[in-house]
Structure 1
Amino acid sequence: MIRRLRRVVRRAYRRTVDLSHPARSPLGSAVVNCVMYEDGVRRDGAHTADEALRLVRKSGRGFVWIGLHEPTEAEFAGFAELFDLHPLAVADAVQAHQRPKVQRYDDTGGGRGAGTLFAVFKTCRYVEHEELTAASEVVDTGELMVFTGADFVITVRHGRHGSLGPLREALESAPEQLAKGPAVVLHAIADQVVDDYLAVADAVQDDIDDVETAVFSEQAGRGDAGRIYQLKRELLELRRAVAPLDRPLWALATRPLPPVGPEIQPYFRDIVDHLARINEQITGFDGLLDSILQAHLAQVTVAQNEDMRKITAWAAIVAVPTMVCGVYGMNFEHMPELRWTYGYPLVLGVMATACLVIHRSFRRNGWL
């Protein structure tokens, strides 16, 4: 079976400059990119975050997209102040290890929107491996936080994967779509995250197929149980990323949550459908792994029973000469066979014949 390996090409981050105030510098140590869009078109130039936001709010027809990677509290403080982000959301974005969710915070600053949406996504990546073992890492997870306002998008990424560079380029190639505002970026991010779930689920299915084939092959070994348990653990990691996201996406698709307008909500409903499919896949995978594990344990039990039957059969065969030898080993004085000329070969012949008859009987019944 040919394993479908998902190879993701990640672009290198732009060179960053370590300055004291990331919001007022061209790029801070944690900043991947800071871009201004006007009418869906990227405006070239090394703008600082406050300059870009000022220009956008002055023109009234664009937004700023800032990408961060694992910022510290000090690095993020300038952006939190500039964009008037809620302290609870800021703490979640910096500390990470959050459950997937979508929360809305009222706008108390000078923005032109009705509030800020804070979304948390679990990113997943399939870890390629030559052979699945009981210690193989199959699913690697990270986190992606998105602050979405009427005129800005701030993405905060935690983990070794989940780069948004290719996504940014894809959106920039469709300026008419990007002109609809930050909600389009939020949808594109959610769509990419869910697409990654689909790719991981397909790859995990290949591993499950390989384990299933190995369990029912003639070379099945008792170490297969460790591989099955490992797959179940990694599947649980994927479930923790996928399952909690259903309710937040449904809220984005059905509830009025500015800046996500009615024209964008149908796109989120499409993502909800994809997420439901992944949840069904994961549930099916878990049930299939349970069945494979039960089948493997049944095979181990059958193999043990066969071993016990063979041991019992050989013990029964050996019992015949043992019994005869035990009788003649009692050393009684009056045993007429002891002085008979043909006694010894006759006893050996009787023992050999009895052993052969018992052995043939066991072979006929499948014990040997």
Structure 2
Amino acid sequence: MPIIAARRYTEGKAHHGAIALTGVPEPEEAVPRGCFDWIGLADPTNEEMARVAQQFGLHPLAVEDALNPRQLPKVDVYGQQLFVVARTAMKGEVEDSITYGQTAVFLGARFIVTVRLGSARAHTDLRRALEADSEHLAEGTDYVLHAVLDFIVDGYLPISDQFEEVAHAIEEAAIDRFPDPATIRRIFRLRRELRRFERIIGPMEELTLRLAEADLPVIDPSARIWFRDVLDHVRRAMARMQGLKETLAATVETAGLLEQHRQGVITRQLAAWAAILAVPTAIAGIYGMNFDYLPELHWRWGYPMVWGLILVICGGLLWRFRRIGWL
């Protein structure tokens, strides 16, 4: 069901039963001081979203953006309300892929509405944890916004962990031998996913920075420290992903250098053996010529002397090549 939860909180304690989403506008003074409503929606229909928007006086442009799953992270101000779009990420079903979702948050002094699109991570556990901490929940809707953003950013960590394991395994394997074509294709897939992650999740840093430093409605100045903590988590996640991208690029470069070195060693070995074998080949070629007047042909010790010369020269070359590390 798209409407996951609709509950009112007073001084951090939840009321029994859900509040009615009638679609009838409710004046702000109708909500007692120290109370706020938290409405959680998941993939709502246009009609359901319109009913919630009418009841809480949400701006139509913000509602339109909340139903568009391709928004980038941002913060918009509509009068005394905030509209925040955050992007969620989780491991995809396809190997080395990331599936993205979106969570839009409407924030007022007396309400918070969260709208999840394409995100499998429900806020049920988060809501339960917050309800168990009534002291912090009593701080209001801005604390709930911080908790939702922190929950979303924490979802980036398993992706970073998984990609790091893959990248390190590829890096270790590349030291022993040059990556095969399948591994190279996988490296480029990983780098493409990491670039996409930076493009989609990157604006989350700007979003949290604005919440942590800008003077915005509904956000109490004392709550900015919570958003600085989220900002730090976002920066760590982005730094890890950028580091992984550099690791993969360095792996390809290092593997190429190692392969060039291995090929150079083989080339030197072949050149050394070719030089050694060139000696008997040249001597045999000279004595294989059909001339009658070769002085050594009728010399009794000519044959053993030729063999001795070949062995001496070849042995000398072998010793020299081994000394310089070619063999």
Q: Same fold (TM over 0.5)?
A: yes
Q: What is the aligned counterpart of 1:162 among 111, 121, 125? A: 121
Asked if 1:296 is matched to 2:247, the reply is no
For residue 142 of structure 1, what is the amino acid of its counterpart? G
| Preserved CA contact (<8 Å) 1:197 1:242 | no
Q: List per-residue Cα deviations over 1:155-199 (Å, max 9, x = no partner).
A: 222335332121111111122322333222211011222333355
Asked if 1:355 is matched to 2:327, the reply is no
1:124 — aligned with what?
89
Tell me which protein shows more helix as a share of its residues: 2
* 1-structure distance, mates of 2:278, 2:62: 78
1:27 — aligned with what?
none
Rate the CA distance shift 1:72–1:318 in 2: closer, same or farther, 3 A. farther
1:19 — aligned with what?
none
For residue 221 of structure 1, what is the amino acid of its counterpart? F
Q: What is the aligned counterpart of 1:222 among 160, 170, 179? A: 179
1:86-97 counterparts in 2 under 5 A? 86-97=59-70
| Preserved CA contact (<8 Å) 1:142 1:162 | no
CA shift, 1:313, in A, is 1.6
2:148 — aligned with what?
189
1:317 — aligned with what?
276
Match of 2:178, SS?
coil
For residue 177 of structure 1, what is the amino acid of its counterpart? H
1:12 — aligned with what?
none
Q: List per-residue Cα deviations over 1:197-221 (Å, max 9, x = no partner).
A: 35544554444444444444xx243
Rate the CA distance shift 1:81–1:67 in 2: closer, same or farther, 3 A. same
Asked if 1:262 is matched to 2:221, the reply is yes
Asked if 1:36 is matched to 2:8, the reply is yes
Q: What is the aligned counterpart of 1:103 among 34, 53, 76? A: 76
| Preserved CA contact (<8 Å) 1:225 1:296 | no
CA shift, 1:91, in A, is 2.8
| Preserved CA contact (<8 Å) 2:187 2:248 | yes
For residue 83 of structure 2, what is the amino acid of its counterpart? F
Asked if 1:246 is matched to 2:209, the reply is no
| Preserved CA contact (<8 Å) 2:75 2:85 | yes
TM-score (norm 2): 0.80
Q: List per-residue Cα deviations over 1:333-366 (Å, max 9, x = no partner).
A: 5446567777666655644554343233222221
Rate the CA distance shift 1:208–1:42 in 2: closer, same or farther, 3 A. same
1:151 — aligned with what?
110
Q: What is the aligned counterpart of 1:176 among 102, 115, 135? A: 135
* 2-structure distance, mates of 1:136, 1:334: 77
TM-score (norm 1): 0.72
For residue 222 of structure 1, what is the amino acid of its counterpart? P
| Preserved CA contact (<8 Å) 2:69 2:101 | no
| Preserved CA contact (<8 Å) 1:100 1:122 | yes
* 2-structure distance, mates of 1:100, 1:197: 15
RMSD between aligned residues: 3.6
1:76 — aligned with what?
49
Identify which range, 142-151 or 186-195, moves more after superposition.
Answer: 142-151
* 1-structure distance, mates of 2:46, 2:296: 99
For residue 87 of structure 1, what is the amino acid of its counterpart? P
Identify which range, 137-146 or 204-213, moves more after superposition.
Answer: 204-213
| Preserved CA contact (<8 Å) 2:102 2:119 | no
| Preserved CA contact (<8 Å) 1:57 1:151 | no
* 1-structure distance, mates of 2:304, 2:99: 74
Q: List per-residue Cα deviations over 1:244-267 (Å, max 9, x = no partner).
A: 222222222233322222342232
Q: Unaligned regions of 5+ residues in structure 1, if any?
A: 1-15, 17-29, 107-113, 129-134
For residue 35 of structure 1, what is the amino acid of its counterpart? R
* 1-structure distance, mates of 2:249, 2:301: 65
* 2-structure distance, mates of 1:310, 1:36: 80
Match of 1:306, SS?
helix
| Preserved CA contact (<8 Å) 2:88 2:119 | no
Identify which range, 180-189 or 336-345, moves more after superposition.
Answer: 336-345
| Preserved CA contact (<8 Å) 2:43 2:117 | yes
Rate the CA distance shift 1:50–1:57 in 2: closer, same or farther, 3 A. farther
Rate the CA distance shift 1:63–1:319 in 2: closer, same or farther, 3 A. same
Identity of aligned residues (%): 37
Match of 1:264, SS?
helix
Match of 1:360, SS?
helix
Aligned residue-pair number: 324
Rate the CA distance shift 1:92–1:319 in 2: closer, same or farther, 3 A. farther
